[in-house]
Structure 1
Amino acid sequence: MTTTVSAPTTLAALQGTYTLDPSHTRIGFIARHAMVTKVRGSFNEFTGQVLVPEAGLANAQVAVSIEVASIDTRNAQRDDHLRSGDFLGAPDFPQITFTSTRVQATGDTQLEITGDLTIKGVTKSVTVPFEFEGGAVDPFGNERIGFEGSVVINRSDFGITWNAALETGGVLVSEKIALEFEVSAIKAA
């Protein structure tokens, strides 16, 4: 007898433990640079888990840990500066973490995840709106789910205050940073 695996197609159908798939997930950011352009980057090393108990999405738990040293903006000199104490302080604060405190469906495919975001030893509550992109069973029999979301934070709220004044006015690095999440997670067997 063959067991058929099916993936959830709605938020209400989610149940189980899902692990972020780092090869198909992007955790990124966007910062305005020199007041005229945007710099995009991402973190290449992270772990994360989503637990949705039988009681439903309202009792779900999300936990993510990001390795600060894995920051990648495609510029080694800038990446080294971002790892330094001027910005993320990787030697003293090697991880950025997020632990949910509330998960709430806000529509058929929309949800908000509120939780404690810790960057450089400072913890603040943030709410990230997500869109459920659906579920699928991949060719290897893995049940996958996908989400996309983003939120804007103020980096100075997390003690990241380094900047440089520009000769034409303004500053080199924006205070507001957009965090972006493109998530693919695999259900545990």
Structure 2
Amino acid sequence: MSAFPTDLAPLTGRYTIDPAHSRIGFVARHAMVTKVRGAFNEFEGSAYFDGADPAGSSGKVTIKATSVDTRNADRDQHLRSNDFLNMDEYPEITFVSTSVRRSDDTSFEVTGDLTVKGVTKPVTIPFSYEGTATDPFGNLRVGLEGEVTINRKDYGVIWNAALETGGVLVSEKIKLEFEISAIKDA
């Protein structure tokens, strides 16, 4: 991987997320004592990066709610149900950027509208630039990583169960994780 370039102009262009080399995941607390990690295995996204003026950049990601995967079939089926993601009525989760700001040499803040279960709220995701490389097929790849914590109740995902010892079965706060490999379009 190369170091972060001072001149971002050569990176200007359209990019497509490579889902085979990217991950969109989440972390929730379970029973107040441990973390459950999961991911969405089906998603697509694209972005335009303006190297001369990062504020002119934009991006969009669409996630298939049915692709939720926590390595437990029963839990995944419950997450797909009306109790959580209600995927029959809301098959997609989307993020559409509204602004991009370079925070320092290796970081960007991407603000946008996150829509879950038909509820849209603004979120700001800090992303770190992980480098640029040309793969064996001649594709220019850019790596980005980011995470943000949201409250699932803000999106109408309110199901829970009280524990006899106090507390609840599923945390309200959910950490969303993004590990992105994007390929510059030819």
Instruction: Give the TM-score of the pair, scaled to structure 2.
Output: 0.95
> Is 1:182 aligned to 2:179, yes or no?
yes
Q: Paired residue for 1:10, among 1, 5, 16?
A: 5
Aligned counterparts of 1:141 and 1:67: Cα–Cα separation in 2: 29
Cα 1:127–1:121, aligned 2, differ >3 Å: closer, same or farther? same
Cα 1:54–1:128, aligned 2, differ >3 Å: closer, same or farther? closer
Corresponding residue number in structure 2 for 1:40: 37
Give unpaired runs (5+ residues) of structure 2.
none
Corresponding residue number in structure 2 for 1:104: 101
Aligned counterparts of 2:53 and 2:82: Cα–Cα separation in 1: 41
Kindly tell me the number of residue pairs found equivalent between the two proteins.
183
- SS, match of residue 104 in structure 2: coil
Aligned counterparts of 2:18 and 2:67: Cα–Cα separation in 1: 16
- Cα offset, 1:56, TM superposition: 2.5
Q: Paired residue for 1:20, among 17, 21, 32?
A: 17
Cα 1:92–1:67, aligned 2, differ >3 Å: closer, same or farther? same
- Amino acid across the alignment from 2:94: T
- SS, match of residue 78 in structure 1: helix
Aligned counterparts of 1:142 and 1:162: Cα–Cα separation in 2: 44
> Is 1:67 aligned to 2:64, yes or no?
yes
* 1:42-61 equivalence runs, <5 A: 42-53=39-50, 55-61=52-58
Query: Structure 1, residues 4-52: CA drift from partner, whole Å, max 9, x if none?
Result: xxx8943724310000000000000000000000000000000000112
- SS, match of residue 58 in structure 1: helix
Q: Paired residue for 2:153, among 151, 156, 159?
A: 156
- Amino acid across the alignment from 1:52: F
User: Root-mean-square deviation (CA), in Å?
Assistant: 1.4
Contact preservation (8 Å) 1:10, 1:109: no
Contact preservation (8 Å) 1:15, 1:56: no
- Amino acid across the alignment from 1:126: V
Aligned counterparts of 2:129 and 2:27: Cα–Cα separation in 1: 22
Query: Structure 1, residues 101-147: CA drift from partner, whole Å, max 9, x if none?
Result: 00000000011000000000000000000100010001110000000
Query: Structure 1, residues 151-177: CA drift from partner, whole Å, max 9, x if none?
Result: 000000000000000010000000000
Q: Paired residue for 2:162, among 153, 162, 165?
A: 165
* 1:89-100 equivalence runs, <5 A: 89-100=86-97
Runs of 4 or more, structure 1, over 2 Å off, are 7-14, 53-56
- Amino acid across the alignment from 1:17: R
Give unpaired runs (5+ residues) of structure 1.
1-6
Identity %, equivalent residues: 62
Aligned counterparts of 1:89 and 1:130: Cα–Cα separation in 2: 29
Aligned counterparts of 1:70 and 1:140: Cα–Cα separation in 2: 28
